[in-house]
Chains A and B, each alone.
Chain A
Amino acid sequence: MTPAHTTDDAPNARIEISGVTKRFLTPAGDVFTAIKDVSFTVEPGQFCAVVGPTGCGKSTTLSLVSGLDRPSEGTVAVGGRPVDGIAEGVSFMFQADALLPWKTVLGNVALGPTFRGTAKREAESTARDWLRRVGLAGFEDRHPHQLSGGMRKRVAMAAALINEPRILLMDEPFGALDVQTKAIMQTELLGLWEQLRPSVLFITHDLEEAVALADRVVVMTSGPGSVKAVYDIDLPRPRGAVQDIRFQPEFLALHRQIWESLREEVERAYAKTAGVSS
């Protein structure tokens, strides 16, 4: 059980993915290669976004970093140590709700510390604190089904950050939200990230979101997924409201440049799925 980390042990938060291939056995007995020879690095405290067409193995990459799955070839290392089972200090945020519907908002946020053996009362007071930070003070006793989609995302965010992870993995966390709520949540995520500075691996199919949030954007090719290009985003920080960044000329230039690279892959992936009929 590691204590809450500080910026001193920042090298612990480097994610190194080198030469990773992941194959699955389909129920029919065929071998399906989800990702092939993927290599890239997320520096400590860096916000790294991965974009790519549907089915390019983005989520597979994420589950390998979290330790939920193991690579068929290659290694994934977190803080210089190869990932072997569920890694310490990693939090995950999913696209779908991963909240327990029978627990209150407070109970859900307090899960992280209680799973790690913190006393209930202490865990709840930390959870209360986190609910205040995501703007949900006063909603402690509600159940998830009584909240809006945006509010549930805030609960999920508080639940993921309460363990003060050195690594935050996000799998299209805002994919199911409407455009306005999405922008608000992105701004809030940036605010919280700037306070805690975990390394973030953020998966999205929304290039605009990737450029607005990240320091580094990894473009993946379609099935089997591999790294096509890596772009560093040198927009100044703090970036402020996400809605406003989108109109800056630097943003637009980067967006266009990466889109050139991504478009080919999206078109190729689309042709593959729609190709049967054409």
Chain B
Amino acid sequence: MVSDKLDRDLAEAGAKAAAAVPSGKGLARRRRLRIFAAQLLLAVVLVGSWQLLTAAKVIDPFFYGQPSGIAKQLYDYFAQGDQATEFGSYWTQIFTTLREAVSGFALGTVTGIVFGVVLGANPFLARVIGPYIKVFNAIPRIVLGSIFLVAFGLGQTPKILLAAVLVFFVVFFNAFQGVREVDRNILNNARVLGASPWRVVRDVTVPSALTWIIASLHTAFGFAIVGALVGEVLGAQSGLGLVITTAQNQFNPDGVFATMIVIAVITLAAESLLTRLERRLLSWRPPSPSEAAQI
């Protein structure tokens, strides 16, 4: 009798479990929807209360801007063509900043990788040059922008250099560490198999350090944008940094916020490109358990 009941219970439990299994996907989708709804709600509450509080003059829109004003400003920037700013169309400003940031990013990344790999592979050089790099790193590098500006004028060069300096240190320290973490066995094996020092660097050291280097590029691109913008704020003839200073001088917080949003969109786009690059270059890696759980 008892076993009969037990069997029935077990069968019921089994049926319940079987019914639960096919809805697993639906459950996951519902959870995703709920998260998205909560995110949307959060944005509506934040932006909405900003709008309401400024409309009711609890917060002064003259100083803190207003979402509707920011939206109108954004529309004006893109709709007014050459009249959008005193220095040409808004697109021109975007491209100026982008060109500076990307050039600085490329320059800083390449020099960072070269220095990181050379010093990482050569302990003697690392000991000699290491302290100098630390000192240089301790300098507030933004200040270098003033020096570059004095030396190279109002053109794009000082912005590119400032962005490159900011990027260099991020990439350098990662590349250096990545090279030092290369498996000794793999290095020795390559050497015994007859690899020349150059082949060891090309086929073992750099690919092995690539995980570290690519991880640094995400942060580095943000720094490149910061470098270009700060350079423009210090003095420029065009660029988003100049748009921001101009808006600031005209007591136009909506202009500052609108440009901020544009910069955020640019950075996010670059981020997604870098993630794609990362997936492609590191496709050999086994999927990590945390990635599988992140559905």
Residues in A lying within 8 Å of B, measured CB to CB:
63, 66-68, 86, 88, 90-92, 94, 96-103, 111-112, 115-116, 143, 145-146, 159, 163
B199:A92 contact, CB within 8 angstroms: no
Docked complex Cα distance between A103 and B285 (Å): 10
A112:B203 contact, CB within 8 angstroms: no
Docked complex Cα distance between A133 and B292 (Å): 37
B185:A94 contact, CB within 8 angstroms: yes
Interface assignment of B207: CB less than 8 Å from any CB of chain A: yes
Nearest A-chain residue to B186, judged by Cβ: A98
User: With A101-B284, A163-B193, A163-B194 known to touch, is A115 a contact of B207 (CB < 8 Å)?
Assistant: no
Nearest A-chain residue to B287, judged by Cβ: A145
- Contact-size category for B: 20 to 34
- Known contacts A86-B192, A91-B192, A102-B284; 15 further A-B pairs (Cβ under 8 A): A66-B192, A68-B191, A68-B192, A92-B192, A94-B189, A99-B186, A101-B285, A102-B207, A111-B193, A112-B194, A115-B190, A115-B193, A116-B194, A143-B286, A145-B285
User: With A115-B199, A145-B286 known to touch, is A68 a contact of B193 (CB < 8 Å)?
Assistant: no
Nearest CB in chain A: distance from B37 CB, A: 39
Docked complex Cα distance between A19 and B256 (Å): 78
Contacts of B106 in A (CB 8 A): none
Contacts of A96 in B (CB 8 A): 183, 185
Docked complex Cα distance between A112 and B285 (Å): 23
Nearest CB in chain B: distance from A172 CB, A: 12
Nearest B-chain residue to A101, judged by Cβ: B284
Report whether over half of chain B's contact residues are helix, strand or loop; otherwise say mixed. Answer: helix
User: With A68-B188, A92-B188 known to touch, is A100 a contact of B194 (CB < 8 Å)?
Assistant: no
Nearest CB in chain A: distance from B212 CB, A: 14
Picked from A68, A86, A98, the residue with its CB within 8 Å of the CB of B194 is A86
Nearest CB in chain A: distance from B228 CB, A: 33
Nearest CB in chain A: distance from B244 CB, A: 43
Nearest CB in chain B: distance from A198 CB, A: 14
Q: Which 8 residue pairs of A and B lie closest in terms of their CB atoms, listed nearest first? A: A98-B189, A115-B195, A102-B284, A92-B192, A98-B185, A145-B286, A115-B194, A112-B193
Nearest CB in chain A: distance from B209 CB, A: 11
Nearest B-chain residue to A169, judged by Cβ: B192
Interface assignment of B274: CB less than 8 Å from any CB of chain A: no
Contacts of A86 in B (CB 8 A): 191-192, 194
User: How many inter-chain contacts with C-beta < 8 Å in the A-B complex?
Assistant: 64
Docked complex Cα distance between A21 and B294 (Å): 55
Docked complex Cα distance between A111 and B195 (Å): 9
Docked complex Cα distance between A181 and B168 (Å): 48
Contacts of A63 in B (CB 8 A): 188
A91:B193 contact, CB within 8 angstroms: yes
B185:A100 contact, CB within 8 angstroms: no
Nearest A-chain residue to B200, judged by Cβ: A115
Contacts of B282 in A (CB 8 A): 102
Which residues of chain B (246-295) have a CB below 8 Å from chain A? 282, 284-286
Nearest B-chain residue to A88, judged by Cβ: B194
As a 0/1 sequence over residues 23 to 41 of chain B, the CB contacts with chain A under 8 angstroms (1 = contact) are 0000000000000000000
Docked complex Cα distance between A116 and B183 (Å): 22
Nearest B-chain residue to A98, judged by Cβ: B189
Nearest CB in chain B: distance from A120 CB, A: 12
A100:B192 contact, CB within 8 angstroms: no
A98:B188 contact, CB within 8 angstroms: yes
Interface assignment of B215: CB less than 8 Å from any CB of chain A: no
Which among A88, A97, A115 has the highest number of chain B CB atoms within 10 Å? A115
Nearest CB in chain B: distance from A155 CB, A: 12
19 A-B residue pairs with CB within 8 Å? A66-B192, A68-B188, A68-B192, A91-B192, A92-B188, A98-B183, A98-B186, A98-B189, A100-B203, A100-B207, A101-B285, A103-B284, A111-B203, A112-B194, A115-B193, A115-B199, A115-B203, A145-B285, A163-B193
Nearest B-chain residue to A1, judged by Cβ: B194
Docked complex Cα distance between A90 and B192 (Å): 7
Nearest CB in chain A: distance from B291 CB, A: 14
Nearest CB in chain A: distance from B53 CB, A: 54
Nearest CB in chain A: distance from B97 CB, A: 35
Docked complex Cα distance between A32 and B290 (Å): 44
Nearest A-chain residue to B204, judged by Cβ: A100
Nearest A-chain residue to B199, judged by Cβ: A115
Contacts of B195 in A (CB 8 A): 111, 115
